[in-house]
Structure 1
Amino acid sequence: MKTIYLIHGWDGSPKEPMHQWIKTQLEQKGYTVIIPKMPDPEVPKIETWIPFLTEIILNLDENSYLIGHSVGCQAVLRFMETLPEEIKLSGVILIAPWMHLDEQTIKDEGEEIVEIAKPWMETPIDWKKVKSHTNNFTCLLSDNDPYVPLSNKELFEKSLNAKIIIEKNKGHYTEDDSIIENQTVIDLIR
């Protein structure tokens, strides 16, 4: 049986409609789906999110998938850096992943948001260590995401050899973008 951990994003929640829809669809297929409520999601911090994940994500193996949304993608990757070398995963799905944000977002959102995002953008990731746990990475990006420039795709292709799927008009894959379902994620879990 596959176990899937879905990590929500900045200012997010396990109750987001897309997350709940994914959970319901996968549970109907017999999978176990866990969507933890991340600590202080309004101000996500590497130093709190990653230790939290190491406490709650247990017994990973070749039947485990990790899914991240937005900054939850970085949380997944940074968590993977902490895993013992022998842990192998079935796959990783990154929904609206970013290593840098859109310049207009940085201008529009102001200094407080930039200060929250800065450690996520500037703290390096050990890509080799992350890749050692699976060779199955997929990134879902939208052609009209207001926060995540499509230029992020090159980094994920190069660093993770990730399969890139660019979808039309999905925004940042949130309820504000009218995204309630995500069949692509369901189709990727095998």
Structure 2
Amino acid sequence: MQPTIYLIPRWGGKIHSDWYDWFGAEIMERYGFSVIVLDMPNWNQPDVDATIQHLLNQISYVDKLTYFIGHSVGCQAVIQYLMARLEQDKSFEIGGILLVAAWFMVDKPWETIEPWMANKGFNYRALAERVKFTKVVLSDNDPYTSNYAENQKLWVDRLGASVTVYPQRAHFNSKIEPGVVEGFAEMIG
């Protein structure tokens, strides 16, 4: 059976932004898998509740062959969607999540990003038990999260993530990002 792979873009990102087209082509060529890049509502000013509801409406079924890829705020959207799923079904399981330019905090938060950082009450341990593998890809010069070591520690502590920090990749906004494909390869084993 083929896996179902969903990709949620960065803040303001569209289905063809950054490395998304290249990544989809690479995954098709290497594995024969299709990647579904989700067009997110009002993604220039993403709202947490509207995003979770949109994802719950778009993705009604997940299983061990379901994988999520998030980019920046898309990582938070993945986590918050899965937390909402966990409230509905404590026994769901998915294959994995790949989180690119992931963060729990940003250096200079602005008003509309603050709700995305208000996730302190989450039961990360319960979520980690439902996800077979969590991979996080970071950069040592991300302009939004300069303390990449602390960011890495949070992903390891909260979700038991495997984290790779790449040198000089900024916020992973290039058209080609080999580290993302490497992270995907590690996630699907």
Q: Tell me which interval the TM-score lies in, with the shorter structure as reference length.
A: 0.7 to 0.9
Identity of aligned residues (%): 30
Cα deviations by residue, 1:85-110 (Å, 9 ceiling, x for unpaired): 221111111101111102xxx1xxxx
Do the aligned partners of 1:38 and 1:49 also contact (CA within 8 Å) in 2? yes
What pairs with 1:75-94 in structure 2 (closer than 5 Å)? Answer: 75-83=77-85, 84-94=89-99
CA distance in 1, matches of 2:40, 2:46: 8
CA contact (8 A) 1:22 1:186 kept: no
> Contact between 2:139 and 2:166, CA under 8 Å: does it hold in 1?
yes
TM-fit CA distance, 1:128: 2.4
Distance in 2 separating the partners of 1:163 and 1:186: 12
Q: Note the residue ranges of structure 2 that are not aligned, 5 or more in a row.
A: none
Equivalent in the alignment of 2:116: 120
Report the Cα distance in structure 2 between the residues aligned to 1:70 and 1:48, rounded to whole angstroms.
17
Structure 1 residues 185 and 14: CA distance shift in structure 2, 3 A: farther
Q: Deviations over 1:126-177 (max 9, x none)?
A: 21232131141111000111112312111110010111100111110003xx
SS of 1:115's equivalent in the other structure is coil
Partner of 1:129: 126
User: Partner of 2:185 in structure 1?
Assistant: 187
Correspondences of 1:1-190 after superposition (within 5 Å):
1-28=2-29, 29-83=31-85, 84-102=89-107, 106=108, 114-124=110-120, 125-148=122-145, 149-150=147-148, 151-175=150-174, 179-182=175-178, 183-188=181-186, 189-190=188-189
* Unaligned segments of structure 1, at least 5 residues: 107-112
Aligned length: 178
Secondary structure of residue in 2 paired with 1:68: strand
The CA distance in 2 between the partners of 1:18 and 1:185, in whole Å, is: 14
Partner of 1:110: none
Post-superposition shift, 1:187? 2.2
Structure 2: distance between partners of 1:20 and 1:185: 16
- The answer to whether the Cα contact below 8 Å between 2:6 and 2:69 also exists between their aligned partners in 1 is yes
**Counterparts of 1:131 and 1:66 in 2: how far apart (Å)?**
14
CA contact (8 A) 2:135 2:183 kept: no
Amino acid at match of 1:101: V
